[in-house]
Structures are given as structure tokens and as C-alpha cells.
Amino acid sequence: MHLMMWKASAARLLSLFLISYLILIGNCSEDEERLVRDLFRGYNKLIRPVQNMTEKVDVRFGLAFVQLINVNEKNQIMKSNVWLRLVWNDYQLQWDEADYGGIAVLRLPLIKFGNLILFYLITNLHHEVWIVDFNGDQVSLALYNNKNFVDLSDYWKSGTWDIIEVPAYLNIYEGNHPTETDITFYIIIRRKTLFYTVNLILPTVLISFLCVLVFYLPAEAGEKVTLGISILLSLVVFLLLVSKILPPTSLVLPLIAKYLLFTFIMNTVSILVTVVIINWNFRGPRTHRMPSWIRTVFLNYLPAMLLMKRPRKTRLRWMMEMPGMGVPPHPYGSPADIPKHISSIESQSKVEVMELSDLHHHPNCKINRKPNSDLGVGMGGDSCRRESESSDSILLSPEASKATEAVEFIAEHLRNEDLYIQTREDWKYVAMVIDRLQLYMFFIVTTAGTIGILMDAPHIFEYVDQDRIIEIYRGK
């Protein structure tokens, strides 16, 4: 019973409190409505708020930067949230607080007067400029609270851009008639480098150094031109990406566009040089004759300068180039190393091997052979000489003569084949030397160009402390 009575009393007290609050608000709203009605009865916005037309309106103008929403670099449009602070004294907007319920402050929409012109632009250096223009003969313009900067007290830090400086300047043009006055607010911003470094600069640098690896692939692989063209296509993709985010201006070339253009040119040159290298690699004596200067420069001097060592020649080529070696080496080395059972068989057959050069001068052996004057080697192959127990020599049989001619033909064929292979190997080695030379040259040029262009950025490694900047330009 007591609980029910207590609940009823609490409900009556709450209702009484709400009614009193609503009556109080109603009276305040009525006083504010009456104040607005009395103030703007017959008020004209086109009339300057001065009692004497010869007087000037003292206006204090300030700008508070709250938030940087978005920057469209291509179209040079910046979207931000700011507060415009204008303070002036209007004699028509005065009242007695006692007559209107103690109301001391009245919040209303902006009341414009005069030819106030607000300009807004963004320069190509990411300077946001606010210009407030007044007629200096009618308005005396001053900075809000004498602060020559934009107020950053309520600024919300951006994750994409850094604020560098926010100065404000009061400009008076006395030479004009009437005198013009304006205040210029600069909001100097700079993009944080981490985004472009990770998403654009670092991939471009890696792609540029991939161009160097084109010269590390052997010419026989057949993938040198394919790799170069693949890198070229990837650079085209990055160029299209940069063209979409940068403004289409011809006044200045961005550094990232310079670096992409440099990499594009280097890759194009590498493809051209690669085509020349492949062409030289597959040259032969039947189509091209190697000039003496190429042999001297690319086979003698450049390999030593590039620390290149040519592989040793094959056994056949080593045999062919030794003088007096017209026959292959003895299978057992020197005659002293011949086993006894084989030596006895050779003594029974009375047949021994002699050089074709000796056989050609034998008085009883008539073999038609042509000396090879080109190679200058007296190598004629194998021939057989039959000896009797006496010292007299006998004439070779027709079968042995034909065998001798066949052996000489085979030797001549081997010499020509070895000369052909030697010339082709020389062209391949020349292509290899050019490959190694271009590898070093492109690596040096790419490294120097990368460092030179990226270091040309004035603030690429500079860190901006936003808390310190906000503390410096705090207006409150």
C-alpha cells in the first residue's frame, strides 16, 4: 500500500518538473522569437552597418581549418571543411538583455553586406589559397585576433597529406581607386611519401633494374626480347596509371613521370641492343666475315677489361692446331707403353703407321694429294708402308692407296668443319662480350639515373611532425 502511494507521488513530482521545464523553454523561445522579430523589422542587408556613410566598417576576418577531405590532383580541386570567422559591429543589431529574458547571444545565419568576394584556388605546388576581397574605402579589413595564420585548433589530422604551413597575409592596394584590401590564406600541404613509395616508386625501381637482367640471359635462350617486351608493357601500365592521377599540364613534368620516361627509354634501348646481340650470335662464316678490328677489340681487349675468360678449346681443335700432328695420338701414348702381346702382333705383320707427308715423298708411293696452303699445316692423315725383312720398300697396294686418300679427305673435312665451328664460336663469344659490356653499362646508368631523379625530390625523406605544426598554429 505504501509502495503504491510512493510511486504515485514520484509520478506527480516528475510531471510537475516536466511542465515547469516546458514553460521555461516556451518563455525563452518566445523571448528569442520576439528579439529576432524586433531586430530584423525593417533591417536591410544592402545597407552598410554604419550610422555615417563616411565611416568604414571594421571587419576582422579569420579562417579555421577543420578537416582536409579530399584533393583531386588531376582537376586541382580540394575539398575541405573550414570555418569562416567574420566579426564586425552593427549598430542596428543592438538590444537590452533585460527586455528579452536575459538573452545575450543570438545565433543567426550569416548576414552578408557589401561586395565581399571570396576567391579559392589551388596552385600547382599544393598551396590552397583563400582570398577575401573588400572595397578598402568602405571597409577596414583586419586579421581575426591579429593572428597572421590559419587557425588549426580544431584540425583533424589527415592520413594522406601533411600540413606544412598556413600563413595569412593582409594586402592593401592603395594605388587602385577605390582602394582594395584583401586577406590571403595559404594552406600548404604535402602528400605523405609512404603511399607513392610503396605503390608506385618501389615497383618502378624494381622494373627498371629488371631491364639489366635482359643482358644476363644467354642469346641462345630465345627469351631476351620476350623479357624486354614484357617489361616494356608493364611500364606502359604504370604510365597510364600516372597519367590518370596527375594533372594534364605542360608547365612542369612530375618526377615520377620523369623516372618512368627514363626507364621506358632505357628499356627500349635494351631491346634494340638485344636484337643486335642475337643477330651477331647467330652469324657464321658462310654469311659474314669477321673484320680484324672486331676480332681485336671484342676477342682480345674487352674480355680482359671485363674479367672474362674464354673456355679452353676442344681436343680435336687442339690436335689440329699443333704442327706435325697429322695423325691422332697413339692410343697407348708412347711406343714404350705398348703392351707386349700387341707389340708382337705388330712385329709379325710388319706394318707400321707413318705420316702422310712422309708417304707423299716415298719414291714408290704415287699418291695425288693437294697441300692445304690455307692452314699451313703439313697434315695428311694415315698411310701404310709395307717393309720386308730387307731394306727395300715395296709399292702400296691399290686398297691401301684408296684408304690413304679417304683418310686425307676425312682430315680435310675435319679441318674445314673445325674452321667453321671456330668462326661461329668467335661470333658467339663476341655477342657474349657485348652482353657483358651492356650489363655493366646499363646497371651503372640505371643506378645513377634512379639516384639522380629520386634525390631530386626536395622532401622525399623529410618527416613532418603534425602535432608540432598544429601546436604552432593554434589560435585559441
Share of the chain above pLDDT 90, in %: 16
Please give the average per-residue pLDDT across 359-374, as a whole number. Answer: 44
Please give the average per-residue pLDDT across 260-272, as a whole number. Answer: 92
Asked whether the beta carbons of 24 and 113 are under 8 A apart, the reply is no
Residue 6: pLDDT over 70? no
Least confident of 130-139, 177-186, 432-441: 130-139
Of the ranges 138-152, 166-180, 434-448, the best mean pLDDT one: 434-448
Residue 431: pLDDT over 70? yes
Count Cα atoms within 13 angstroms, Cβ side, for 50. Answer: 14
Structure confidence at residue 350 as a pLDDT band (50, 70, 90): very low
Residue 294: pLDDT over 80? yes
Please give the average per-residue pLDDT across 50-66, as a whole number. Answer: 84
Q: Which of 421, 442, 446, 438 is nearest to 277 (CA)?
A: 438
Of the ranges 24-33, 99-108, 316-325, the best mean pLDDT one: 99-108
Structure confidence at residue 476 as a pLDDT band (50, 70, 90): low
Bridge-based pairing state of the strands 127-135 and 57-72: unpaired
Q: Which residues contact 130 (CB under 8 A, 6 or more apart)?
A: 63, 82, 118, 119, 120, 184, 185, 187
Q: Which domains does the chain have, with CATH numbers?
A: 57-191 (2.70.170.10), 197-290+434-454 (1.20.58.390), 315-425 (no CATH)
Least confident of 160-164, 179-183, 187-191: 179-183
Please give the average per-residue pLDDT across 303-318, as a whole number. Answer: 72
Share of the chain above pLDDT 70, in %: 69
pLDDT of residue 66: 92
Q: At which residue does the C-alpha cell 586541382 appear?
A: 76
Q: How far apart are alpha carbons 350 and 344 in whole angstroms?
A: 10
pLDDT of residue 239: 87
The CA angle 88-89-95, to the nearest 5 degrees, is 135
Residue 76: pLDDT over 90? no
Structure confidence at residue 375 as a pLDDT band (50, 70, 90): very low
